Chains A and B, each alone.
Chain A
Amino acid sequence: MANVSLGQVNIPLKEVFKSLFGGNVSRETWDYIIINFRLPKAITAILVGIGLSISGLLMQTLFRNPLAGPYVLGLSSGSSLGVAFVILGAGVLPAVASQFLLSSYGIILASCLGSLMVLLLILIVSQRLRDTMSILIVGLMFSSFTSAIVSIFTYFSSAEQLQKYTFWSMGSIGNLSWQNIALLTISILIGLFISLLTLKPLDALLLGENYAKSMGLNIKKTRYLILFATSILAGSITAFAGPIAFIGLAVPHLAKLIFKTSNHKTLFFGTLLIGAIIMLFCDTVSQMPGFEFTLPINAITSIIGAPVVIWLIVRKKSI
């Protein structure tokens, strides 16, 4: 509510309630702002926070790596690559195909495929490298590799395409129409539903893959489920809101810290809740009242997220 109330135009909290619950608002513009800007933005923030945090939680257990997350392991860069391919490469393709690809569906699809591709590559590499540090380094390498390809794309594309891509890559949760929000909600719900199926296997994976196997876990199936869920979650969010840093990494840790457990049933709901709250908070900060401008959300999440991670590492020495 506070999130909806604050922004470039200050709307009193009381009026927000009135508007949301069908009362008459004293100024019509306020109603308009709430319904068409503030509310969609708040809902997007909640969806993004939930989706990224849950995908981070799944990845941290799957890779047995506390530093895993959609951003750190290059998933978001993978999505960027997919989107860059679509936006910047659309001119090369026949008109019908590019029309489809440039629609929201096309961008979601490209983004999901991009993140899935990176995730698969990382998984293959992580089979060979047992060391968690090397997996992180490989993730970083993938990030720079994909950004290199993106920059090659940008070199060959028109100013108009470039502008479109740049806006997308800055990360924004404010530009979603109600239709897009519906699409995002469906993707996130599918992702969350698949994640629910992996909660028990994730608990088993806390003992490592060999123990999990000895307790009757079908590792391959679990791995595919987790991959699928994280790609949908991270991919669809990145498609709509751009690459958003650190939420996926930091929130599961906060949940683990607050709930002091590794039980994934508790963590799932804890992460869900904290993810939504933190993202709303970041969004509120980004549109601080009294300022004429709205900061890019990505900057805020990094400013808040990076110190959290550093603090975590310093505090526990080994997480």
Chain B
Amino acid sequence: MSSNKVIVSTTNLSIGYHSKSHHNTIAENLNLSLESGKLIALVGANGIGKSTLLRTLTAIQKPLEGAIFLKEKNIHEYNSVELAQNLSLVLTEKLPPSNLTVFELIALGRQPYTNWLGKLSEDDYKKINNAITLTHVEHLIHKKHYEISDGQLQIVLIARALAQDTPLIILDEPTTHLDLPHKVSVFKLLKKLSKETNKCILFSTHDIDLAIQLSDEMIVMTEVTVVQDQPCNLITKGVFNKLFKDNAISFDGEKGKFVIN
């Protein structure tokens, strides 16, 4: 296993929205550091600003203050193709209707590398096939993307991100709408990928129990703070108890899961 290097770091990052009269700051002074080979989960209650943080980290939205460095270069200094060669996404949105086959969908991940007509080179095919093998979707590649189940589609979308061959993959709630076995298989796949490919994988999720068991690090967003640490340390510090304001839910540190009082 190669050593873990820092892929993304933020310095005094403040996130939120600009509006005409005032800044609406969602979180301030974030100093996060995401390393290669690690699976990092982002958790927090609904509406706490997970999406805003992800949007800021993926350069869709500008930070209010501070900076984000992707491989030691400010993320806003990348042009769109360079950024696409370093950062790939898996989103929650529904795909528009089309006749794309699974193979074609995964192959689209090669767009940042192909010429103006999008012709695939031998190297591109190698990367695509590698992504297919890693995610075990060989049996699906000739099907249309609307013919496969939601769980399979999620894995295919992950394969597409893999084919994009970036050191950083960010996934927005990859396990919503999936049942427990599929959630677990997606998590396990992400874990395996972070180890085998030495990529840095960041994902947001509401499945905190699973994230505690499977991720290397977690970023926990509460109204007061944003903490990044290993799951067991977070449990000892009692961070999860502050996650939800609701008194009916509390975190049982020994069992490692939430209980209803």
Interface residues of A (CB under 8 A from B): 64, 66, 197, 199-200, 203-204, 206-208, 210-211, 213-218, 256, 260-263, 265, 318-319
Contacts and interface: CB of A to CB of B under 8 A. Distances in A.
Contact of B111 (A215, A256, A262): A215
**Nearest 9 pairs of A and B residues by beta carbon:** A216-B84, A200-B118, A216-B81, A262-B99, A64-B96, A216-B112, A214-B89, A262-B98, A215-B111
For this complex, into which size category does the number of interface residues on chain B fall? 20 to 34
Given A207-B96, A216-B85, 16 more contacts: A64-B96, A199-B117, A200-B111, A203-B108, A206-B108, A207-B108, A208-B93, A208-B96, A211-B108, A214-B84, A215-B84, A215-B111, A216-B81, A216-B111, A262-B100, A263-B104
Nearest to A210: B91
Nearest to B99: A262
Contacts of B104: 261-263
A319 B111 CA distance: 26
B64 interface: no
A216 B81 CA distance: 4
Contacts of A260: 99
B184 interface: no
Given A199-B117, A216-B111, A211 B91 contact: yes
Contacts of A216: 80-85, 111-112
Interface string B102-133: 00110011011010111000000000000000
A207 B100 CA distance: 9
A145 B218 CA distance: 55
Contacts of B60: 210, 213
B234 interface: no
A217 B112 CA distance: 8
Contacts of A66: 97
Nearest to A215: B111
B175 interface: no
A214 B86 CA distance: 10
Interface string B24-44: 000000000000000000000
Contacts of A208: 91, 93, 95-96
B87 interface: yes
A261 B99 contact: yes
B117 A211 contact: no
B80 to A, nearest CB: 5
Nearest to A259: B99
Interface in B2-16: none
Nearest to B146: A318
B58 interface: yes
Nearest to B88: A214
26 contacts: A66-B97, A197-B116, A199-B118, A200-B111, A207-B108, A208-B93, A208-B96, A210-B60, A210-B89, A211-B108, A213-B60, A213-B80, A214-B89, A215-B109, A215-B111, A216-B80, A216-B81, A216-B83, A216-B111, A218-B80, A256-B99, A260-B99, A261-B104, A262-B98, A265-B118, A318-B97
